[in-house]
C-alpha cells in the first residue's frame, strides 16, 4: 500500500529479483528471510504463508503477524504456547505443565480449525487432526508467521480459523557461526541448546540440538504429585544455489518427548495419577525452486511426517498411535503485467498404525486416506487498488470433494493508510477417528465442516507506529458433534463468531510497545451459548526498553471468563478470567556473552486455562548464551 505505480513488466522483473534473492537465503521454498529498513521494520517484513509466495507484509490482504528470531529471544518465551498466548485472535488452553494436552483456538473456531505448518508442511496427527505442540521447540524456530482468517483456497482442508507457519533456523551470515545457550529455572527446569551455521559461496548448512526438562507441577488442581516433562531433539538443514537458476533445500527434524499427566484410570476404572507417555516426531522436507525465466518460477516440494505416542496408565499399557503423512506439490508462479498468477497441485497420503486395550476387535476399520488438491490464485495492484482472488478444488477418497474460494479488495486512502474487505469459504475434513473410530463409534458418512467468513479491515502504517482494525464474522455449518446414538459423531452443530481485533505498536530508538486486543462473540447457534474455552475479550501488551548493553521488558496478558466443563462433575461451568504480568531483562556482557533472566507470573496469580487444571505459578529462569 506504499506505492501508486502501475505494476507492469518492470515491476515483474524487480519482483523476480526480490523473490529470488530472498529465497536464496531461506531454509525451504516456503520460508522467507526478514529484511529491515532503517525507517520502519514492518514496512520491509516479508512473509510467505498467506499466499505461498514471498510478499511484503503490508501487501498481504489479510490479518498477519510475523514473529522474528529476535523477538523470540527478547521475549524469552519457554514454549510456542507462551509465545502465541493472547496475541490477536489466538487463545491457547493447556491442561497442566509443558507436555500436557494443548488446544489452540484462532478467532473463536475449533481447536482443529487452525492449520499448523513447519516449513510449509502439515504436522497434525492423522488420527485426531491436531498438532502436538510439545514437538515444536522455540530454540529451532527462526520465525513464526500467523495468518488469521480462512486460507482453505490456498492450502485445502483445516484452515478455517487461520494458518500458523513455523520456519526453522537456517544459515544467513557468511562464514561459520555457533551459539550455545544454557538456562535453569524453577521446578527443576533446565534447558540446553546449541546452534551452528555455515555459509560458503552457494551452500548453507545449519544444525540445532536442544534438550529441555522440568519436574513441572501437578496438572490437576487436586493432584498430589508433580507432572514432569523432557524433550530432546535435533534439526539439520542444507541449502544450495545452482547459480541464479535454482535453489535446493533439504531438511530433517527429530524430537523425542517423555511426559506425565493426570486423570487416567486403572483397569477397574478408578482414577489414578500414575499417567505417563512418550512420543516422537520426524519431519523430512525437500524443495527445489527453479527460475525458468525472469517472470516464471516453478517449485517442486516433497515431505514426510511421522509421529508416534505411547501411554502408560496405572502401570498398564494404554495404547499406541503412529501416524505418517507423505506430501508432494508442484507450483508455478507467473509475474505478468496483469499481476501475479499462481497455479498448483498437491497430493498427500496419510496412514495409521494403532492399538489399544479398549479398541474393538477390528480397530480402525480404515487406517489410510489420500487427498489431491488443485488451486490457483491471482494478485493485482493497480495504482491505489489491490485485488487477491483464489480458487481450489479438493478431492478426498474418504468423504468426497470440496470447492473453496476467496476474494479480497483493498484501496489505498493515502500512502500510509488502507481500507479493505474480503470474503472466503473454508472446510475441515473429518479425521480418521471421526470416520472410523477404533472404539466402535465412527461414522463413515460424515460430511466436511464448512464455513464462510466476511471481513472488513483498516490499517495505518507510519514511520514509527502502526495501528490496524479487523472486523469479521465466521459462520460454520455441519460441525461434527458426538451426539448420535452410542455417541456416534454426526453433522449437527452450527456456530457463529463475530469479532473485532485491534493491533497497534510504536517503535522508538529505545522503547517499543505492542498492543493486541480481541473482542469476539463465539456462539453456538443451536443453544445460543458461548463456545467452550473461548473468551469474549482477551488482550496482550508487550513493552521493551533497550539501554546500551541492557534491555528490560514486560508483558501483560489477560482474558475474560470462559464457558467450560467441570473436570469432576462433567457439568457446564465457567472458568474465571485472569491477568498475568511477566518481567524480563538481558545484558550483553561482551560481544560473545549474553546473560538473560525472566520472572513470570510476578504476582503468583492462581488461574486456570482449563477447568480443574493448574497453570504455572510464579516462575524464575535465567541463562547465558555464548556466541562463537
What is the predicted pLDDT for the residue at 364?
Answer: 85
Q: Collapsing DSSP states into helix, strand and coil, what is residue 592?
A: coil
Confidence band for 1, pLDDT divided at 50, 70 and 90: low
pLDDT for 58 beyond 90: no
Phi-psi region of 96 (alpha: psi -120 to 50; beta: other; left: phi over 0): left
- Look at strands 578-590 and 550-559 and give their pairing: antiparallel
Lowest pLDDT segment from 219-228, 358-367, 407-416: 358-367
Here the cell at position 540 is 496482550
Q: Which residue has the higher pLDDT, 462 or 24?
A: 462
pLDDT for 2 beyond 60: no
Domain ranges of the chain: 9-627
- For 571-580, write each residue's pLDDT tens digit: 999 999 999 9
What is the predicted pLDDT for the residue at 44?
Answer: 59
Q: Which residues contact 570 (CB under 8 A, 6 or more apart)?
A: none
Torsion sign, CA atoms 258, 263, 268, 270: positive
- For 229-238, write each residue's pLDDT tens digit: 999 999 999 9
What are the C-alpha distances in Å from 59 to residues 53, 343, 574? 12, 20, 41
pLDDT for 8 beyond 50: no
What is the predicted pLDDT for the residue at 252?
Answer: 95
What is the predicted pLDDT for the residue at 205?
Answer: 95
Q: Which CATH class is domain 9-627?
A: mainly beta
Q: What residues are paired with 559 via a beta bridge?
A: 538, 578
Q: For residues 68, 72, 75 and 76, what is the CA-based torsion angle, rounded to 10 degrees? A: -170
Contact by Cβ (8 Å): 217, 240 = no
* Residue 505, number of CB atoms within 10 A of its CB: 18
Scan for cell 502501475, then name that residue.
6
Distance CA 378, CA 155 (A): 15
What is the predicted pLDDT for the residue at 29?
Answer: 44
Confidence band for 18, pLDDT divided at 50, 70 and 90: very low
The listed range with the strongest mean pLDDT (53-67, 257-271, 405-419) is 405-419
Share of the chain above pLDDT 70, in %: 93
- For 242-291, write each residue's pLDDT tens digit: 998 999 999 999 999 999 999 888 877 888 888 999 999 999 999 999 99
Write down the pTM of the prediction.
0.91
Here the cell at position 436 is 472410523
pLDDT for 43 beyond 80: no
Amino acid at each position: 500500500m506504499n506505492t501508486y505505480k502501475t505494476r507492469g513488466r518492470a515491476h515483474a522483473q524487480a519482483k523476480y529479483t526480490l523473490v529470488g534473492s530472498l529465497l536464496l537465503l531461506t531454509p525451504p521454498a516456503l520460508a522467507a528471510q526478514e529484511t529491515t529498513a532503517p525507517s520502519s521494520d514492518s514496512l520491509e517484513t516479508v512473509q510467505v504463508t498467506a499466499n505461498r509466495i514471498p510478499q511484503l507484509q503490508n501487501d498481504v490482504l489479510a490479518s498477519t503477524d510475523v514473529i522474528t528470531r529476535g523477538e523470540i529471544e527478547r521475549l524469552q518465551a519457554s514454549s510456542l504456547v507462551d509465545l502465541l498466548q493472547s496475541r490477536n485472535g489466538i487463545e491457547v488452553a493447556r491442561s497442566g505443565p509443558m507436555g500436557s494436552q494443548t488446544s489452540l483456538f484462532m478467532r473463536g473456531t475449533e481447536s482443529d480449525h487452525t492449520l499448523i505448518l513447519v516449513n510449509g508442511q502439515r504436522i497434525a496427527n492423522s488420527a485426531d487432526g491436531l498438532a502436538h505442540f510439545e514437538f515444536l521447540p522455540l530454540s529451532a524456530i527462526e520465525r513464526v508467521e500467523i495468518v488469521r482468517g480462512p486460507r482453505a483456497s490456498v492450502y485445502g482442508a483445516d484452515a478455517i480459523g487461520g494458518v500458523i507457519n513455523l520456519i526453522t533456523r537456517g544459515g544467513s551470515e557468511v562464514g561459520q557461526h555457533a551459539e550455545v545457550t544454557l538456562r535453569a529455572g524453577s521446578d527443576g527446569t533446565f534447558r540446553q541448546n546449541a546452534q551452528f551455521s555455515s555459509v560458503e559461496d552457494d551452500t548453507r548448512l545449519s544444525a540445532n540440538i536442544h534438550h529441555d526438562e522440568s519436574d513441572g507441577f501437578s496438572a490437576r488442581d487436586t493432584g498430589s504429585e508433580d507432572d514432569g516433562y523432557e524433550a530432546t531433539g535435533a534439526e539439520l538443514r542444507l541449502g544450495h544455489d545452482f547459480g541464479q537458476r535454482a535453489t535446493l533445500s533439504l531438511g530433517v527434524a527429530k524430537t523425542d518427548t517423555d511426559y506425565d499427566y493426570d486423570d487416567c484410570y486403572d483397569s477397574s476404572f478408578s482414577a489414578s495419577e500414575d499417567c505417563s507417555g512418550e512420543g516422537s516426531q520426524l519431519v523430512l522436507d525437500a524443495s527445489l525452486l527453479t527460475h525458468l525465466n525472469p517472470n516464471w518460477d516453478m517449485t517442486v516440494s516433497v515431505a514426510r511426517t511421522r509421529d508416534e505416542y505411547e501411554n502408560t496408565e496405572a502401570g498398564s499399557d494404554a495404547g499406541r498411535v503412529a501416524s505418517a503423512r507423505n506430501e508432494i506439490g508442484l507450483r508455478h508462479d507467473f509475474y505478468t503485467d496483469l499481476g501475479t498468477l499462481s497455479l498448483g497441485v498437491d497430493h498427500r497420503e496419510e496412514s495409521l498404525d494403532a492399538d489399544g486395550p479398549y479398541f474393538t476387535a477390528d480397530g480402525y476399520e480404515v487406517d489410510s486416506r489420500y487427498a489431491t488438491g488443485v488451486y490457483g490464485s491471482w494478485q493485482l495492484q493497480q495504482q491505489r487498488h489491490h485485488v487477491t482472488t483464489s480458487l481450489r478444488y479438493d478431492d478426498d477418497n474418504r468423504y468426497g470433494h470440496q470447492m473453496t474460494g476467496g476474494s479480497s479488495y483493498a484501496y489505498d486512502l493515502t500512502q500510509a493508510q488502507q481500507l479493505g474487505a474480503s470474503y472466503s469459504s473454508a472446510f475441515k475434513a473429518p479425521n480418521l477417528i471421526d470416520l472410523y473410530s477404533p472404539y466402535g463409534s465412527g461414522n463413515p458418512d460424515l460430511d466436511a465442516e464448512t464455513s464462510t467468513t466476511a471481513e472488513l479491515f483498516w490499517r495505518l502504517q507510519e514511520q514509527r507506529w502502526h495501528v490496524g482494525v479487523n472486523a469479521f464474522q465466521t459462520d460454520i455449518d455441519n460441525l461434527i458433534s458426538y451426539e448420535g446414538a452410542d455417541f456416534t459423531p454426526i453433522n449437527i452443530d452450527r456456530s457463529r463468531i463475530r469479532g473485532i481485533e485491534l493491533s497497534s505498536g510504536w517503535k522508538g530508538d529505545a522503547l517499543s510497545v505492542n498492543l493486541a486486543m480481541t473482542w469476539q462473540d463465539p456462539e453456538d447457534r443451536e443453544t445460543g451459548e458461548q463456545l467452550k474455552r473461548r473468551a469474549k475479550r482477551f488482550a496482550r501488551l508487550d513493552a521493551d526498553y533497550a539501554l546500551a548493553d541492557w534491555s528490560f521488558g514486560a508483558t501483560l496478558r489477560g482474558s475474560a471468563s470462559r464457558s467450560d466443563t467441570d473436570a469432576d462433575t462433567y457439568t457446564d461451568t465457567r472458568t474465571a478470567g485472569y491477568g498475568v504480568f511477566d518481567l524480563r531483562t538481558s545484558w550483553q556482557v561482551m560481544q560473545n556473552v549474553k546473560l538473560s533472566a525472566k520472572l513470570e507470573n510476578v504476582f503468583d496469580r492462581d488461574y486456570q486455562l482449563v477447568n480443574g487444571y493448574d497453570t504455572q505459578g510464579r516462575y524464575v529462569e535465567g541463562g547465558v548464551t555464548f556466541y562463537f
